[in-house]
């Protein structure tokens, strides 16, 4: 690994992630990067790292994305977070610092799997200028563990033995076992051997994480959020997925597979992501073509955004379906609010 400029692209090969390291808050962070286009920040799940998702992330790169896949603190050789103030919000601050370190100066398309989903939500909430679109994949953060009639039990009530009972089975899906074993050897096993304390600390955060309030705030701010869940996931139960959906006012999307289905079937992951990427890319292009009013008003002699013909403003979304138009509009409004428009 080296500190080479990820923007140089000198020896990057098409869709292959190239590995680098950088400093975030004076601590080393390892990461992979590849591609050109829409900036995507991918935050990995508990016990894994930035290598395990190589096949899934290639599908995003091929769709015109510049993918940044860091190993979060304590995983994949990245330095731990300081003990003081340790929490999901500290991971979010690290993520914002990482984007600064690698020179990303626009809102990203953030994707978080499992524990990475919790960090992505907190990043979008605490650093609103950093995230323009959010996708949660079998994410931690739903408050509900079990629902039986009128009785509801929270995720914090779930005993450790129940997590331990289901987690190993979900790491070995019905298909794609070879890819999963490779991911285990590349990331999970080294993490367990080299830094078991970091795994324990992050695992405790994941157990207690309740991001309902943060998601409700993102809904009010109209940040586009997509929630995905594998129908055979026993690590994140359906009740937790439904709690996430309820917080953002969406039904979410259920896909075939277990907790780490995107590792087992990267092609399916690419297809599921295609629509969201298209919407985010269209919103990004519209913002570039028609900057927010606050931005143009500050320029001497600039033509106010209100004077741009309405037909021209609608051009970028005229061929989209109804739901896609609504998502693109939400993404555009979100960007305007970040700019103060």
Judge whether 131 lies within some domain: yes
User: CB count, 10 Å around CB of 11?
Assistant: 8
Q: What per-residue confidence (pLDDT) applies to 244?
A: 93
CATH number at residue 154: 3.40.50.1820
Q: What is the pLDDT of residue 307?
A: 39
Residues 141, 271 within the same domain: yes
Are 22 and 118 contained in the same domain?
A: yes
Distance, CA of 255 to CA of 272 (rounded, Å): 9
178 and 298 co-located in one domain: no
Indicate if 213 and 88 belong to the same structural domain: yes
Looking at the fold, whether 217 and 295 belong to one and the same domain comes out as: no
- Decide which of 259, 278, 297 is a domain's last residue: 278
- Among 278, 295, 321, where does a domain finish? 278
> For residues 125 and 226, what is the distance between their CA atoms, to the nearest angstrom?
15
User: Residue 16 has what DSSP assignment?
Assistant: -
pLDDT at residue 8, as a whole number: 42
Range of the domain at 290: 283-339
CA neighbours within 13 Å on the CB side: how many for 259?
25
pLDDT tens over the chain, length 341 residues: 444 444 444 444 577 899 999 999 999 999 999 999 999 999 998 767 667 888 999 999 999 999 999 999 988 889 999 888 789 999 999 999 999 999 999 999 999 999 999 999 999 999 999 999 999 999 988 766 555 555 555 555 555 545 555 555 555 554 555 555 565 566 555 656 566 666 667 667 767 778 899 999 999 999 999 999 999 988 888 888 999 999 999 889 999 998 889 988 999 999 999 999 998 988 888 877 776 554 544 444 444 433 333 333 334 433 344 445 455 555 555 555 555 54
Residue at a domain's end among 261, 278, 295? 278
Indicate whether 224 and 243 sit together in one domain.
yes
| pLDDT (0 to 100) of residue 135 | 97
pLDDT recorded at residue 278: 92
Please report the pLDDT score of residue 171 as a whole number: 54
Residues 156, 297, single domain; the answer is: no
Residue 287 domain-assigned?
yes
Would you state the pLDDT for residue 335? 53
| pLDDT number for residue 70 | 96
How deeply is 232 buried, as exposed, middle or buried, from its count of CB atoms within 10 A (0-12, 13-18, 19+)?
middle
| Structural domain contains residue 9 | no
Question: Is position 5 within any domain?
Answer: no
Question: What total of structural domains would you count in the chain?
Answer: 2
Same domain, 160 and 303: no
Reported pTM = 0.75
Question: What pLDDT was estimated at residue 205?
Answer: 75
Q: What is the DSSP string of 43-104?
A: EPPTT--SSTTHHHHHHHHTTTEEEEEEPPTTSTTPPPPPSTT-SHHHHHHHHHHHHHHTT-
């Amino acid at each position: 690994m080296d500190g080479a400029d990820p923007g140089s692209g000198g020896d990057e090969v098409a869709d292959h992630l190239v590995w680098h390291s950088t400093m975030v808050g004076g601590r080393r962070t390892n990461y992979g990067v590849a591609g050109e286009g829409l900036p995507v920040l991918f935050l990995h799940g508990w016990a894994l790292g930035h290598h395990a998702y190589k096949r899934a992330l290639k599908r995003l790169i091929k769709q015109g994305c510049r993918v940044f896949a860091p190993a979060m603190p304590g995983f994949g050789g990245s330095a731990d977070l300081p003990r003081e103030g340790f929490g999901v919000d500290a991971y979010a601050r690290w993520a914002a610092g990482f984007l600064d370190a690698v020179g990303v100066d626009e809102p990203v398309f953030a994707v978080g799997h499992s524990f990475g989903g919790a960090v992505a939500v907190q990043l979008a909430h605490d650093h609103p200028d950093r995230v323009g679109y959010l996708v949660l994949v079998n994410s931690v953060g739903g408050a509900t563990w079990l629902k039986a009639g009128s009785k509801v039990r929270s995720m914090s009530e779930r005993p450790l033995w129940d997590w331990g009972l289901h987690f190993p089975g979900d790491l070995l899906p019905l298909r794609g076992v070879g890819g999963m074993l490779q991911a285990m050897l590349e990331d999970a096993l080294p993490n367990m051997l080299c830094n078991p304390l970091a795994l324990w600390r992050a695992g405790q955060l994941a157990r207690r994480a309740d991001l309902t309030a943060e998601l409700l705030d993102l809904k009010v701010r109209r940040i586009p959020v997509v929630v995905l869940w594998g129908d055979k996931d026993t690590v994140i139960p359906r009740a937790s997925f439904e709690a996430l959906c309820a917080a953002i006012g969406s039904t979410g999307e259920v896909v075939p597979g277990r907790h780490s289905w995107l590792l087992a079937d990267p092609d399916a992951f690419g297809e599921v992501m295609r629509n969201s990427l298209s919407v985010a890319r269209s919103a990004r292009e519209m913002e570039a073509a028609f900057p927010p009013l606050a931005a143009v008003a500050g320029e001497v002699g600039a033509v106010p955004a209100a004077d741009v013909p309405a037909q021209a403003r609608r051009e970028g979304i005229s061929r989209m379906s109804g739901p896609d138009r609504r998502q693109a509009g939400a993404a555009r409004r979100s960007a305007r609010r970040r700019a103060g428009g």
